[in-house]
Structure 1
Amino acid sequence: MRILWHITCLLLFHRTKLFIGFFIHGIVGGKVSAPHSRPYMVYIRDKISKVACGGFLVREDYVMTAAHCKQSHLMVYLGVSDKNFLPDGIEVDPIPHPKFTMKRTGHDIMLLKLKTQATLNKIVGTITLPNSENEGIAKDCMVMGWGWKKYHDESPSNSPSNVLKEANVTLIDSENCGTADTLCTEGSTGPAQGDSGGPLVCGGVAQGIMYFSKNKGNADHFTAYTHISHYIPWIQSIMPLDMPEMLDQVSRSV
């Protein structure tokens, strides 16, 4: 009986190691998000090409993401923690910024109009947007997504995460960043392939949209984000009636 008990313990220990190991993939250097702790996060995937991006819910009928994530048959999935258990997808009408082009950087922002409005609850919620272009931004921020676990690694061992992951990042000075409509972070942790369109969250506010990253000469990685506050007038032109009410509403819900 004692031998049988030891064998059982060893088997359980081995299975536990495998189970824990499953949860160490995703955003580079990040950790697994507590299930449904980021209710604004949206998984976006084209139902034909299967190309995937991240996004975030800003109102019951709108998701924000990167314009370069535009595909012909996009579906959004709300309240997702583990991609192995996707809810029914919602079809959308994509509205990319009119000045966006794949030929150059800038204006990489898109709104997705949901054809069926989201029902807000404990696992589906909205996130606050900036109030104005001059709003101060906290330097300590967070990124999240279901992307690859290594930067620019196309080996068979690298794959997207099934579970939502998050990582802490720090904004760098604007003079070392790029254009005026861009925010930047650098370091050994952060978003990778498959995380495009997800939010840069600073002080509980969605301040940026992930759109570009590159390796530096050292171990650090450089990531650029569309600076959302620069596009408040355009956002208001798409959602003209409820924008002030939305900002107040999401402030109370976060």
Structure 2
Amino acid sequence: MSIFSFITKLLLLHSCTPGVGVVNSKVSIPHSHPYMVYIHDKHTPSSCSGFLIREDFVMTTATCNGRHLMVYLGVNDTNDLPEGIEVDVFPHKGFANKPGDDIMLLKLKTPATLNETVNIIALPETNREKISSNCMVVGWGWQEYNEKSQSSVLKEVNRTLLDSKNCATPHTLCANEVLPTKGDGGGPLICGNVPEGIVSYIRKESSTTYLTMYTKISYYLPWIHEILNVHKLWRSKLDAFKISDIRVCMIVKMTSP
């Protein structure tokens, strides 16, 4: 295994370890990003970031996969977490703890109630080439690379994307500043109020140069909509079944001797 491959894999595998606060970032105004979701494995210290894209679905990185994930909505300070919600996990089938296909959907077993502190963010509509280079990363990650210091509050930082030709693949976006850290994995890259990317991993270009890589969301729209539509149809059929069941019960009750 080359040193490049080793470093890439190491950063990928640890992109969702505990921590809070993007390096060189500022504290977000409380609840100014109501789509943000704090994700924690209740049996390990691992945590990462995510964002709500439908009342019953959260998007994050596949690196954040775990057996006992809980999501927390409407969080500003992780010292004061609301009741967690259990989820079913849907990592992309192509993900294998290496660069590529680092995207996952989490289906909430109890759909979110939308309000001022909990809300969804709309995904890009098409796989477009031109994306605003003025972006922002939001998440809970380590405050410094050389310290295991944690901030309990959500933070944000502005980002400038590199031209797409400087990124390795058509399914990634990248920037040449290493700002997101452990714990920020799964958080959104917001460009023009649209989540265009997911914080994925850091790629070493040389002894002094690194690129922060983001999974390009629009590239995976067919897969995303396939998962969402299947579960939307399933939910509609379940609701119809419940209504029919109620009607049957009413008929039985009314006709019983």
TM-score range, shorter-chain basis? 0.7 to 0.9
Of residues 123, 130, 133, the one that matches 2:127 is: 133
How far residue 222 of structure 1 moved from its aligned partner, in angstroms, is 2.1
Does the 8 A contact of 2:77 with 2:153 survive in 1?
yes
1:173 partnered with 2:163: yes
Contact 1:147 / 1:191 at 8 angstroms: preserved in 2? yes
Residue identity in the other structure for 2:229: P
Instruction: Specify the SS of the correspondent of 2:40.
Output: strand
Gaps in structure 2 of 5+ consecutive residues: 1-19, 233-257
Q: Which residue is equivalent to 1:208?
A: 197
Distance 1:142 1:242 in 2: 30
2:215 corresponds to: 226
Alignment of 1:1-254 (within 5 A): 26-102=21-97, 104-134=98-128, 136-151=130-145, 153=146, 155=147, 158-187=148-177, 190-214=179-203, 217-218=207-208, 221-240=210-229
**Offset at residue 150 of structure 1 (A):** 1.6
TM-score, with length taken from structure 1: 0.79
Shift of 1:241: 6.8
> What is the deviation of 1:159?
1.8
Deviation at 1:217, TM superposition (A): 4.3
- Structure 1 gap segments, 5+ residues each: 1-24, 244-254
AA partner of residue 217 (structure 2): I
- Post-superposition shift, 1:160? 2.4
**CA–CA separation in structure 1 for the residues paired with 2:230 and 2:188:** 24
State the Cα RMSD in Å: 1.8
Residue type at the aligned position of 1:200: L
Identical positions, percent: 54
Q: Which moved more, 1:176-185 or 1:87-96?
A: 176-185
Looking at structure 1, the residues matched to 47 and 177 of structure 2 have their Cα atoms a distance apart, in angstroms, of 24
Give the partner amino acid of 2:218. Answer: S
Paired positions, count: 212
Encode CA deviations 1:125-144: one digit per residue, 9 max, x unaligned.
Answer: 11120101126311000001
- Structure 1 segments, 4+ long, off by >4 Å, are 214-218
Per the alignment, in what secondary structure is the counterpart of residue 235 of structure 1? Answer: helix
Quote the offset at 1:224 in angstroms: 0.2
